Structure 1
Amino acid sequence: MSTIVAAALSGLLWLAGSGLHPVPALTWLAPLPLLLLAVPRKALTATLVAWPIGQLGLAGYFIRTLQIPLPVVIAFVLYGTALAAGTVVLAVTLLRRGRTGTAVLAAPALWVLGEYLVTLALPNGAWWSLAYTQADVRPVVQLTALTGVWGVSYLLVAVPIGLAALRTRPKPALACLLALAVTAGGWATWSLTRVPDAAAELRVGLVALEQPEDGMPLGEAAGRELLARYVARVESLAERGARIVVLPEKVFGVDSPAALAEAFRPVTARGVQVVAGAVQGQRNVAFVLGGTVRTYTKQHVIKGLEDWITPGDRDLIVDGRYGVAICKDLDFPELVRGYRARGATMMLVPALDFTGDGWLHSRMAVVRGVESGTTVVRAAGFGRLTVSDPTGRVLGEATAGDADLLVTVTPSARGTVYGRTGNWFVLLSVLLLVTAVVRAAYRKPAIAATADR
């Protein structure tokens, strides 16, 4: 009965604490019922049931929205199940053998490495991580500026292991939890109280208007009518002080940017830059309309849905400060790190999304900004319009459809440890995992079995 209850409870907590609209507090609690079982065999059985329950909310999104083949979805759920089961069993085994410190501080490395392997095996970047569940919890997400998303995922596993250990070995468990709290809390306090480098304020605008489908051809009446509506909205933002205006991804279908440049000329002639997403032939592009027309081609396309698109291979930095990317590009931390290393302090991002995933995908972009220390201006045609600062504060947000935003930003020139060093925490996790496995395999002598070190 305890196994059944633990499986059901953890499954429901993972269901509510992950997915498209997670409740962040529940993510921390989800593994706890499994860890409290204290018997590896029972913990394994319960986890094999709990994780698939927790993935039910995403299964429909993968199959219906992203059109991922059912066998691939099943394989991915099985992978997550194996990873969760391995992590829980490793932690329970260590706790059972009195190795509390190793269980709390080293066992979570298995989950971290499992997440990282997904970024290597699949062409989707760092899109699969528990860390995004905490995107609106700014003190927690500050850790990504030090470790990337891997440090947040580590905490989300380490804390419930520590809580489970309080029942049998309270002193070492409390010491481990205190060490984690001091380290993560100290970093968050320092990050949130740092004064950013002085920079001039800038007003940015975002617009996402309702349209029946993406890539409306400008050669058709519906496309020209949509362009006229966008021009009027951009002119309104410019009159209110916007110096840069970002439109969504794939708004128009064009043969060349000439018609767009001409339509927005009354605005760009006043020094306003317009970033407009469009489909040009087999390319998904963002045109930066200003004194000249600069073109960025999306580098990371959605496998399956965008196989017809030819990806680009070049970054674009405007005025030496503003990096341009498109939607899925921001699922890749290394792309934003590269922009930041070359001096970009703000990302201008036309995006699309799929309505239901508006919160989740916008928050992935927010996390990219925290990781590398950049302001992110992102307009999604079927999602959300968001502007976030380098600490993850959402400065402005609206739901696409008939929406615009005008936000004052101060693009910071402050870099981050993660932006400069990359995935160092993954290497540390390898060492931690080796330690955990060795300690789990070694049985203490009977005389020492009651002592914890």
Structure 2
Amino acid sequence: MLSSLDRSRKSRSFLWLLLAVPLMFVAMGLWSLPAAAWLAPVFLLRFVRDQSTWRGCMIAALLLVVVSCAAWHGATGRFLQFPLPYVVGAALGLVAVLPYLIDRLLAARLSGPAATLVFPAAAVTVEFAASFGPFGTWSSAAYTQKNLALLQVTSVTGIWGVTFLLHWTASVANAVWEEGLMSPEIQWTAGLWAGLLAAMFVFGGARLAQDASSDAIPLATITGTHDASSFWDVRRQAESREAVRDSARAVQRDYLQRARRAARAGATLVSWPEAAVPVPHEDTAAFLDRARRLARKQEVYLAMGVNAFPRPDTDDQLENKVVWIGPGGTVRTEGLKTRLVPGEPGRAGTGTLPDVSAPAGTWSSVVCYDLDFPALIRQAGRQDVDLLVAPSNDWAAIAERHAHMARIRAIENGTSLLRPTSNGLTLATGPLGRTHARVNHFTSPEHLQMAHLPRRGKSTIYTALGDFFAWGCGLGLLVLTGSACFRLRLPLREAAAYSAFS
């Protein structure tokens, strides 16, 4: 039988659930608020701990499924058709409840700082495991944070350090809630948490204060009314292959003309969005000849987002890639998009980033969705890439979130980022994530963006050690699980011994 105190606590816990619901709606998904991401887990964890294990977790799972479907609405664009977006949303909600279930099963069997580490270790482990799936790191709680000083920790731990801190805050807050600050163990744990939080901000502030580089290179991005979607709409309506080729050549001329104007304005490198320029197979040589002449005459680098499509009578696949041309007029290299969005047609790349050595530094490129996979982009840091060019094509619902995710990749790897984007946010950031230029496709009529980015990148610990922190959290969770199970068996053995001698 439950005591009156237990019944009161379980009833009162629904108040914490009511507080968690609105916070959860703005703590996850496409339009998250940074403060809500700190507060929402505090109240939801309090609710789950005050309920029986399965009842609390089942209610939390239901809440997170509903919130996830609403918060991620529109994230899949037109790649996934109904009901698949809601299936994905429900799956994200069920994954999100796992840290709460693990905490409910283990934390009560531990004490002191160890008890508070279960929840954050589980959160990082679950996020890290999910990052190997088809949607990469999209659901990471770390992307809710915008404070640039805090985000510098990603140069050491990757996004996993931010996720850990968010969830450890909730766990420590609940420990104080349950036992108060009179306990020496709680005082020590709270002090450890406060010290780590302060250290993160001091580290980030110091790193930002040292960013005084004035050596910069002029770069240009060009966007316009033509993008991958608009061309394929034309292609579907075209009556013949020749009409498709005529339409593609018109887009090619438009982008090359504007690239010429950007070069004359002083740009060292010119780039444009993902798949913005369609190139039929039979017109590849002619297009590249025009681009090579432009680069040679203007003495400019071109990093061209190209959508190369085959003849309809072949088995060849679409190629979504970046083609690099140097100021000497030679095709330096090209890089295919490695990570295709689920449902996106085309041939995927091998996962090796292209390398362009220039007098201004070492440059490389990826395409849009590639940026959502930290392990892939970590090549840029290992290759000492100074500038990463990432042609992209978004849609309104994901524009803000996706641009912010890209900025964090730059911080992790200490590289400047040039992200020309159609139907989204064109972004130019330095290696510490500072925004040097930003253009919103939906609100700005400006189709040429000039930016000056630092010539050299910065070395980072994350580049050298990779996801060591995430793996460490997984190992730590195993240790905590073993310790909790060992402590559970001790009373059982004592009870068995007592029965044997009684």
Question: By how many angstroms is 1:57 displaced?
Answer: 3.0
Contact 1:48 1:85 in 2 (8 A): yes
Does residue 437 of structure 2 align to residue 421 of structure 1?
no
Match of 1:265 in 2: 293
What is the aligned-residue identity percentage? Answer: 22
**SS of match in other structure, 1:67:** coil
Match of 1:449 in 2: none
Contact 1:112 1:153 in 2 (8 A): yes
Match of 1:213 in 2: 230
- Identify the range of structure 1 (393-402 vs 372-381) with the bigger mean alpha-carbon deviation: 393-402
Match of 2:210 among 179, 189, 194: 194
Does residue 119 of structure 2 align to residue 119 of structure 1?
no
Structure of greater Rg: 2
Question: By how many angstroms is 1:327 displaced?
Answer: 0.9
**SS of match in other structure, 1:127:** coil
**SS of match in other structure, 2:223:** strand
Match of 1:317 in 2: 355
Contact 1:47 1:84 in 2 (8 A): no
Match of 2:325 among 281, 289, 297: 289
**SS of match in other structure, 1:302:** coil
**SS of match in other structure, 1:376:** strand
Match of 2:218 in 1: 203
Match of 2:481 in 1: 437
Match of 1:131 among 142, 145, 166: 142
**SS of match in other structure, 2:270:** strand
Contact 1:204 1:244 in 2 (8 A): yes
Question: By how many angstroms is 1:210 displaced?
Answer: 1.4
- Tell me the amino acid that sits aligned with residue 194 of structure 1: Q
- Tell me the amino acid that sits aligned with residue 394 of structure 2: D
Give me the whole-angstrom Cα distance separating, in 2, the residues matched to 1:35 and 1:315. 42
Contact 1:40 1:92 in 2 (8 A): no
Match of 1:448 in 2: none
The correspondence of residues 17-416 of structure 1 with structure 2, limited to 5 A, is 17-37=27-47, 38-41=49-52, 43-62=56-75, 65-67=78-80, 70=83, 73-74=86-87, 77-78=90-91, 80-81=93-94, 83-91=95-103, 99-120=111-132, 122-134=133-145, 136-167=146-177, 168-170=179-181, 171-195=187-211, 200-211=215-226, 213-214=230-231, 220-254=245-279, 255=281, 256=284, 258-262=286-290, 265-266=293-294, 268-281=296-309, 282-290=318-326, 291-293=329-331, 294-306=333-345, 308-319=346-357, 321-400=362-441, 402=445, 403-416=447-460
Contact 1:387 1:397 in 2 (8 A): yes
Question: By how many angstroms is 1:362 displaced?
Answer: 1.4
Could you report, residue by residue, the CA deviation over 1:52-99 in whole angstroms, capped at 9, with x for unpaired residues?
232133453256533066368536634643x44342344456665672
**SS of match in other structure, 1:190:** helix
Give me the whole-angstrom Cα distance separating, in 2, the residues matched to 1:428 and 1:40. 30
The one of the two structures with greater contact order (alpha-carbon pairs below 8 A, sep at least 6) is 1
Give me the whole-angstrom Cα distance separating, in 1, the residues matched to 2:65 and 2:15. 15
Give me the whole-angstrom Cα distance separating, in 2, the residues matched to 1:179 and 1:55. 33
Contact 1:9 1:33 in 2 (8 A): yes
CA change 1:71–1:274 in 2 (3 A) is closer
Question: By how many angstroms is 1:145 displaced?
Answer: 0.7
Could you report, residue by residue, the CA deviation over 1:230-258 in whole angstroms, capped at 9, with x for unpaired residues?
33432332232211111011112212153
* TM-score, scaled to structure 2: 0.79
Contact 1:348 1:377 in 2 (8 A): yes
Contact 2:337 2:370 in 1 (8 A): yes
Structure 1 or 2: more helix by fraction: 2
Could you report, residue by residue, the CA deviation over 1:215-241 in whole angstroms, capped at 9, with x for unpaired residues?
677954443443343334323322322
CA change 1:352–1:97 in 2 (3 A) is same
How many residue pairs match? The answer is 440
Give me the whole-angstrom Cα distance separating, in 2, the residues matched to 1:105 and 1:339. 32
Give me the whole-angstrom Cα distance separating, in 1, the residues matched to 2:353 and 2:368. 14
- Identify the range of structure 1 (243-252 vs 230-239) with the bigger mean alpha-carbon deviation: 230-239
Give me the whole-angstrom Cα distance separating, in 1, the residues matched to 2:85 and 2:415. 34
Contact 1:296 1:316 in 2 (8 A): yes
CA change 1:21–1:76 in 2 (3 A) is closer
- Tell me the amino acid that sits aligned with residue 196 of structure 2: L
Could you report, residue by residue, the CA deviation over 1:24-47 in whole angstroms, capped at 9, with x for unpaired residues?
111111111122334242642442
Unaligned ranges ≥5, structure 1: 446-453
Contact 1:3 1:45 in 2 (8 A): no
Contact 1:90 1:437 in 2 (8 A): no
What is the root-mean-square deviation of aligned Cα atoms in Å? Answer: 2.9
Contact 1:39 1:96 in 2 (8 A): no
Does residue 17 of structure 2 align to residue 7 of structure 1?
yes
